Structure 1
């Protein structure tokens, strides 16, 4: 029992607490697999914890098959992000210019999906970028989106 609790605690540390804020919207099968689950594109929603009324939707590839069903497959670094104002968005004060706000595990081999928030103070726009990283090296694949603040012109 103590080992199980320690493993769960380690899992929370490795995946980050922000990953718990995600909501699975759904998914679409892309490749049929005879054994195990199909390959899929899944869509998750992340609500920005520090900027009210901003929701980010991330689509990403999820590997199926036997390895994917057992949680041993490494998901590819293919994703897209779209963040939207779901209500009035005010310019955030007292936030760093760059901050990692979401993280989610993509494999048991320390590969993660990360979403960063960047602030463009000149234009009063909040930018979000999604990347993947590994313990050793990351991926050049990325996607970016922008959310304007204040009243729309």
Structure 2
């Protein structure tokens, strides 16, 4: 019984600390491919797993074609983010600067698009940064969004 309770507590702790699941909001086609999926831009929404009342929207490129359909293509590093207060803001647990709150694979191996969070305590603002990293050579392309921690009316 004690082992089950410890396992459940560990699972809840891991779930709270892991990057947020995303919901696909929509997509647009950017290039038609005769074979395989089209190249497209997808929009995904996720809620910050440690900050209740904040949701973010990320748009990112998805490579199509045969290799994209098989999951073998490398997506470009292009991504954009917009985060907003959608309810009363409440911190569920301690925040760590640079903590990953969202991540997606952008190639078969080694490349990820991710969102990390920082808290600017002096201005009482949450800052979200999206970028891609790669084991050998990451990309300087990035985007940020900031959410003021304010009362919800």
Work out whether the TM-score is over 0.5. yes
- Secondary structure (helix, strand or coil) at the match of 2:69 reads helix
What residue in structure 1 maps to residue 98 of structure 2? 98
Residue aligning to 2:77: 77
- What whole-Å deviation, never above 9, does each CA across 1:111-153 have from its counterpart, x for those lacking one? 001111001001100000001001112110000000011237x
The Cα of 1:100 is off from its aligned counterpart by 1.6
CA distance in 2, matches of 1:126, 1:92: 14
SS in 2 for 1:67: helix
Cα distance 1:126–1:17, how it changes in 2: closer, same or farther (>3 A)?
A: closer
Structure 2-normalised TM-score? 0.82
- Structure 1 segments, 4+ long, off by >2 Å, are 16-19, 90-94
For residues 66-145 of structure 1, the aligned pairs below 5 Å read: 66-90=66-90, 94-145=94-145
Q: Report the 3-state secondary structure (helix = DSSP H, G, I; strand = E; otherwise coil) of the residue aligned with 2:99.
A: strand
Contact 1:83 1:147 in 2 (8 A): yes
RMSD across aligned positions (CA): 1.9
In the alignment, the residues of structure 1 paired with residue 22 and residue 38 of structure 2 have an alpha-carbon distance, to the nearest angstrom, of 22
Compute the TM-score of the two structures, normalised by the length of structure 1.
Answer: 0.82
In structure 1, stretches of 5+ residues that fail to align are 1-15
Q: Deviation at 1:98?
A: 2.9
Q: Deviations over 1:56-80 (max 9, x none)?
A: 1000010101111111110000010
Q: Which has the higher strand share?
A: 2
* 8 Å contact from structure 1 (residues 129, 144) kept in 2: yes
Aligned: 1:39 with 2:35: no
